Amino acid sequence: MTNRSGTRALTPAEQQLLSQPLTLPFSGKVIKNRFLKAALSESLARPDGQIDKSHTNNLVNLYEAWAKGGSGLILTGNIMVDRLHREMERNVAVEDERDIGRLKLWAEAVHKHAPPRALTEQEIKSLVQSFTTTAVVLSNAGFDGIELHAAHGYLISQFLNPRTNIRTDSYGGSLENRARFLSEIVQSIRAATPASFIVGVKLNSVDFGRRRGDNNNKDEASSQEGDNGVDKDLEEAVQVSVMLENLGVDFIEISGGSYESFAAGLLDGKGVPNTDPASDPTRSARSRQREAHFAVFADKISSALTKTKVVLTGGFLSAVAMADAVKGENEEGAETTAMVADGGKPHIDMVGLGRTICQEPDLPNLVMTGSVTGALTMPKTPGGFMDIVFLCGGNLHRLATKKTPVTSLGGMLFSPAHYGFGFDYTKVGVHKIKTLVGC
């Protein structure tokens, strides 16, 4: 018998809660339930980012599995706006409209080891247009909308983060300047796409309140300051969220972490994050809870919003926890800080699922019908988080070829799809580490 998270299935009232539709405030689109399939790095295109017939078939197979599984809003994997600056080999790149069905690859190769430099203002304007062009092409192809990835150390996140943004022009310094790149992208996309086109933004829970030169005692100092320190750190995140609402952003997805911290963990010998961040003995109970679920960010940000919806992604395993996040009550009925509410109160409108629906694409349906207590539990392994990455990544490729996902390390060992994904992912990890140390 396969183990699952959670202790009980949902009551009919809880099933109804997660099954209720959600109307997005600016695009007007109605999401059929409260489940969002979070974005993942899928590596299902050619090495150059182009998709031909076979790759298109694989993508269709994968997303059919998730669509049939019940996710109300399905975010694609990372789509590159510039194939010369890709996050990962084999991720889809969308640059122009020469062939919407099968996007063509740019002929020139990127100078991968060129020394880093600041973008010129003209290059920034060009990037804004690149994001806009990609959104227009996807709109014309029939996609309902896009989510801008402003988290996890990606380019927009680097502009927002005062630790990485040390510019002295109109795109650096003050929060207004650091958020200018993001705001220009949103405004440009809104102007170029239909009013019914969904625009969402993923924000990082660690990009605000950190300055270049902060020492390693920052966490300790914050804990000594208590809630006032947290409020200070979150002030900029709240301001950016309000700005996004004023620009017509339909939803904000709250996430956390960065690829820099991921690679740095490998370099300093501490390894990668534990699969259960709440079990990390090196942090306080309060810090562990915040890091695991980013709930404090959702609280502060959602309280400031009156229209834009809030999605919380990360750490959802049991069905009851998913329902609790949306209804704002624990099993004893006590009010929590995450609740569906009118603007001005903390609220969560949707829960984002990622790796859990790589193993079980129909998990939303199973939860909403009260058929399961929660997600399938991941196997405990010596490799921890890395083993989970390989397990989930390989299952993406299995679903793409209409194969049943495996849910154990034994199954993974006999799965060619997992070996293929593992080889590609290892190459990317080595490249990221080399980039960090300047090799």
Average confidence (pLDDT) per 10 residues, the chain, 439 residues: 86 93 92 90 77 76 83 84 73 68 32 59 93 95 95 90 91 95 98 97 73 42 43 78 97 69 38 40 44 63 92 87 74 41 68 90 96 86 65 84 82 67 54 44
CA 158/CA 167 separation, integer angstroms: 11
- Kindly state whether residue 22 falls inside one of the protein's structural domains: yes
The answer to whether 21 touches 309, Cβ cutoff 8 Å, is no
Chain CA centroid to CA 285, Å: 24
Number of domains in the chain: 1
Q: Give residue 378's pLDDT.
A: 75
For residue 209, which of 219, 199, 200, 198 has the smallest C-alpha distance? 219
Res 338: pLDDT: 42
407 within domain boundaries? no
Decide if 388 is inside a domain. Answer: no
Residues 419 and 429: their CA atoms lie apart, in Å, by 15
| Residue 46 vs residues 50, 99, 398: alpha-carbon distances, Å | 5, 16, 17
- The reported pLDDT for the residue numbered 233 is 55
Which residue range forms the structural domain that includes residue 242? 12-379
Query: Token pair for residue 240?
Result: 């950016």
pTM attached to this predicted model: 0.71
Does residue 414 sit within a domain? no
Exposure letters 318-347 (e unless 16+ CB within 10 A, then b)? bbbbbbbbbbbbeeeeeeebbbbeeeeebb
pLDDT score at 294: 61
Q: Looking at the domain assignment, is residue 338 inside a domain? A: yes
Asked if residue 206 is part of any domain, the answer here is yes
Per-residue tokens: 138? 């996807």
Could you give the CA distance from residue 338 to residue 345 in angstroms, rounded to a whole number?
9
CATH of the domain at 230: 3.20.20.70
Alpha-carbon distance of 12 to 16, in angstroms, equals 6
385 found inside a domain: no
What pLDDT shows up at residue 381? 63
**Bridge partners, residue 96, by sequence:** none
Task: Note whether residue 394 is domain-resident.
Answer: no
According to the model, what pLDDT value does residue 12 have? 93
pLDDT value at residue 54: 78
